[in-house]
Structure 1
Amino acid sequence: MKGYVHVYTGNGKGKTTASLGLAVRALGAGKKVYIGQFAKSKHYSELVTIDKLLTDITLKQYGMGCFIFDKPKEEDIQAAQQGLKDAIAAIESDKYDLIILDEANIAIHYSLFSAANLIEALNRRNERTEIVITGRYACQEIIDYADLVTEMKEVKHYYQQGVQARVGIEK
């Protein structure tokens, strides 16, 4: 079966959630999953579930904290570049059927690594490996490269009324 490259982008809620739903579906079909989370270091509720399924999911985080309101620090850049190296190793290993590069679009947007670097990594994949790239601000090079692009559009969000991220729903 041929694998495709998906991009889940846009300002709406649900990009990571959609990719994790696909991971659950892949697990149900007996597939192995690798998830690299760029620009994330917090403990999210979905990580508890992933810990319980760890035999078939490999999850690594490459965030050093929240820099989206500031300029990324050198350690942010180093962490993301290590994440890209690990993603390349996962891609080249042929061990995984589904590879999720969560917030890789954000990493590119903040120049933690380039779209060309990511595309070079994607070119190393086995033709049956499915890859999902999430995050706002997908650049045109990644959109052009992908086989499927979904934009999550924010129409209305309770965050605008001051509701903070809730455990089990947004985190």
Structure 2
Amino acid sequence: MTRRASMELVEEKERLEVLKREQLPRMRAVAEKWRNGTAISSVVLAVLTATGGSKRLDVLVDVARTWTLIVLAVLAVSVVVSLIAAMRASFGWPVRVKALKAGALRAWETKELITAYVCLRLSLISAAIAVVALFAATGLLLLAPHLPGK
């Protein structure tokens, strides 16, 4: 092994350590942006549902109304799960870390990074389910059979 090769290995190892230190803050920053977008979308969706949804439900036949309510419940649960998971990914969870042993803080960071990743992924999947449910509910409200005379 030459001196140049060993210097490159040292530089690569230092770069890897910097990347490891920055992983959790980067994940939190991405999750924070996602959380903000999810929160804004949730508020807009709630306002739209509250202002116009109940009027449209009243004119549907019973079966269509029941299915629309089921889809809206799936939508609401998906939005709430997405928001909670995004918050967990962006903020973390208050915990005291006992860093008495060498590597304890790094082990906690690794565990927290994995947790943030899983929560962010859960948030994205829940948001996708919410979007599908939104389209399904909109389709039911617009295309389902309506009561005669309404």
Q: TM-score, normalised by structure 2?
A: 0.29
Q: Which structure has the larger Rg over C-alpha atoms?
A: 2
Higher helix share: 2
Q: TM-score, normalised by structure 1?
A: 0.26
